[in-house]
Structure 1
Amino acid sequence: MDSQLNTQTSHDWWPSPAKLNLFLHILGRYENGYHQLQSLFQMLDYGDKLAFDITEDSAICMATPLAGVDDDDNLIIKAARLLAKHTQCKKGVSITLDKCLPMGGGIGGGSSNAATTLVALNHLWKTGLNEDELAELGLVLGADVPIFVRGRTAFAGGVGEEITPAPQKELYFLVANPNVHVSTAEVFTAPELPRNTPAIAWEDYKFEKTRNDCQQLVENRYPEVAKLLQWLVNYAPSRMTGTGACVFATFSDYTLAEQVRAKMPEAWQSFVAKGVNRSPLLDKLEQQK
C-alpha cells in the first residue's frame, strides 16, 4: 500500500484513509426529514494524505487548492477554521493535500480530509480537545466526520452519529470507481428509495444477510454503476458503498484481489486496500506523542 507515498517526501504526511459502507439499511425517516440508517463503516489502509505547515499568523489556506472548489467551500479549510474558532487559537496553517481518492465516490474522501485536519491541527496547534470533543465538532461538518475522527471500524445508527466499535476480520477490498458522480441528495430524496428495512443488532451482521438499500436505485439511474457491479460479482461478493458511485468486491487474499484488478477494463479507476480495525490516522497520532 506504500505506492502512494512516492510523492514529495519532505512533508510530514498525515493519513486521510478511505472507508467503505459494508452495508447500508434505511429504517425510516425522522420528522426533520433525515433518514434513520444502519451501516457498518470499514476503515481502509489507503487514502489521501495531508501535510500541515503551522504559521504564527492566523491565516488558514490551501497550498494545493482543489480544482473547481473554492477555499470557503473546502471541508479541509472549514475544519481548520472551525477548530481555530472553537478553541480561540491564533495560529495559522498552510495545508498540502495529496489527493488520490475520487470526489463524490462514497468512500469518505472529503469527510476523512476534514477529520484528519481536526485531529492533526488539534495536536500541532496544541488546542487540547479530546476525541469526544473533536468528534462532536466534526459532526458540524458532516455526519461521517466523527467516524474518521474516532478512527475505528464501527457500526453506526441514527443519522450516522450513534457509533459502536465493531471490529471485523481484516479482509482485502478491490474498490472501483465507475467515473460517474452520484448526488447523495438525489438518492435520499428519491420517492422509490426503500425506507422500511428492519433494524438489526450489530453482533448479527453478516455480509450476505445485508444489502445497500440505495444500490438498486443508483443502478437504475446510472447504468455504468450497474455495469461495473455486474462485472465484479463474477469474481467475488460485491456491493456499492454508501450512495455510490464506488463499488467494492471482497477478498480474503491480496494477490487474488490484484489479479482481478489486473483484468478490469481501464475505463474504471481502482485500487486494492486492506480493511483495518484501527485507522492509520490513529497510528500517526500515537507516533507523535
Structure 2
Amino acid sequence: MKIEARAKINLTLNVTGRRDNGYHDLELIFQPVSLCDTLYIEKKPDQSLAFSCSVKLFENEDNLVCKTYRAMAQRYPQIGGLSVFLKKRIPSGAGMAGGSTDAAAMIRALDQMYGLHMTWEQKKEIAVSLGADVAACLLTQASIGRGIGEELTKIDTDFTYSILVLKPKVSFSTAQMYRAIDESGQITQRYLSQEAAAGLETKDLDRICASLYNVFEEAIPEKAVIRELKQALTRSGAIGSLMTGSGSCVYGIYRNRRMRDRAYRMLKKHYQAYACEAVNRPQQ
C-alpha cells in the first residue's frame, strides 16, 4: 500500500487556558494541505516491523510510525508483520504536524489493509493516545479543534486555495513556546476561528485572511525572522500570512495558483519554500 500523509497549517491558533495537569486549552483551525509525506507499506510473514525512512535521523523506534504500529497491534492482534518505508517531504520543527500526520496515515493504512472497519471513535482514541494533533490529521478537510486540539468540528467546505510555505533556518521547541505563553500570561483575546470558518464555507479568501491569528507569534524568541518571512510573502503577492503551529514555518495565501507559482519561483532562490494547495474533501 502507498498512502499519503498530508501536512497541516493553522488558520487560527488560540491558547485559551492552562489545565492543572500542564496541558493547555486551545481553539484553532486545522487546514490540510497537499504537501505530504508518503508511507510505502508491505506485509511480511513474521510478526515484526521493519521501519526505514528517507531521513536517517528519524529512522528509530521512537518514530510515531513505529509507536502507531505498536499501539494498533496491541489493540488488534490480527495485525501482522510489516515493512514500512517513510518518504519525508514535510519539514520538521515546522508547525506542520509532520509526525502527527504520519501516525494518522498509519492508522488509516492498517485499518484498510487488515479490514478492521474501525469507527471514527476507535480511530480517534488511538490517535489521541499518540498526540493531540493526530486526530485532526485523520480528516481530509478543515476542522475547528478545541480542548487540547482533539475535540474536532468539521468545517463544511470544499474550498481549494493556493499556499506558499517558507521554512527559516531556526526551529522552535513546542514546550518552550508554551512556557513562554505561561510566563507572559498571554491568553488569547482574539477569537477568530468562527469568522475564518465562515470564510472557508463561503469561499471568501479575504474573510479568511482577515481572520488569520496565531498567539505564538507574540511569544516567539526570533520575532525578526518571522517578520522577515511574512514581509517577503506579502511583497510577493500574498494577501495574508501567518506562522503555523508553534513554528517555525510561515505561509502565505494567494488569490490564484499563477500568483503563487510566480512567488515560489522568486522566493525559492532565498528560502526553503514549499508550494501547495488547501485540501478540503468530504470524508471518505
TM-score calculated relative to the size of structure 1: 0.86
Aligned to 2:230, what secondary structure does the other structure show?
helix
What corresponds to 1:215 in structure 2?
A: 217
Q: Which residue of 2 aligns with 1:274?
A: 277
Is the Cα–Cα contact under 8 Å of residues 29 and 195 in structure 1 kept in the other structure?
no
| In 2: Cα distance, 1:243 partner to 1:160 partner | 13
After superposition, residues 251-270 of structure 1 pair within 5 angstroms as 251-264=254-267, 266-270=269-273
> What residue identity is the alignment partner of 2:109?
A
Report if aligned partners of 1:61, 1:71 keep a CA contact under 8 Å in 2: no
Instruction: Decide whether aligned partners of structure 1 residues 177 and 167 sit closer, same or farther in structure 2, where only a CA change above 3 A counts.
Output: farther
1:129 and 2:118 are equivalent in the alignment: yes
Aligned to 2:40: 51
By how many angstroms is 1:41 displaced?
0.7
Please give the alpha-carbon distance, in whole angstroms, between the structure 2 residues aligned to 1:143 and 1:157.
10
Equivalent residue number for residue 141 of structure 2: 152
- Mapped to 1, the partners of 2:59 and 2:176 lie a distance apart of 23
> Which deviates the most, 67-76 or 253-262?
67-76
Per mean C-alpha deviation after superposition, the further-off stretch among 204-213 and 146-155 is 204-213
Equivalent residue letter for 2:194:
W
**Number of the residue aligned with 1:116:** 105
The alpha-carbon deviation at position 193 of structure 1 amounts to 5.8
Map 1:230-269 → 2, pairs under 5 A? 230-234=231-235, 235-236=237-238, 237-264=240-267, 266-269=269-272
State the SS of the aligned residue for 1:119: helix
Structure 1 unaligned residues grouped into runs of 5+: 1-11
Matched, 1:22 2:24: no
Deviation at 1:200?
A: 5.4
* 8 Å contact kept, 1:27–1:198: no
Alpha carbons 1:26, 1:197 under 8 Å: kept: no
Hey, what's the Cα distance between the residues in 2 that align with 1:223 and 1:266?
20
What is the letter of the counterpart of residue 148 of structure 1? Answer: C
Which position in structure 2 is the counterpart of 1:9? none
**Does residue 87 in structure 1 map to residue 76 in structure 2?**
yes
> For 1:68-87, what aligned pairs fall within 5 Å after superposition?
68-69=57-58, 71-87=60-76
RMSD: 2.1
Residue 158 and residue 199 in structure 1: after superposition, are their counterparts in 2 closer, same or farther (change >3 A)?
farther
In 1, the alpha carbon distance for the partners of 2:247 and 2:34 equals 20
Sequence identity, in percent? 27
- Which sections of structure 2, spanning at least 5 residues, go unmatched? 198-206
Q: Give the aligned length.
A: 269
Q: 1:202 aligns with which of 194, 198, 204?
A: 194
Q: Could you tell me whether the CA contact under 8 Å between 1:46 and 1:273 is conserved in 2? A: yes
1:107 aligns with one of 96, 107, 113: 96
Aligned letter for 1:187? Answer: M
Which amino acid counterpart does residue 209 of structure 1 have in structure 2?
S
1:137-148 → structure 2 map (5 Å cutoff): 137-148=126-137
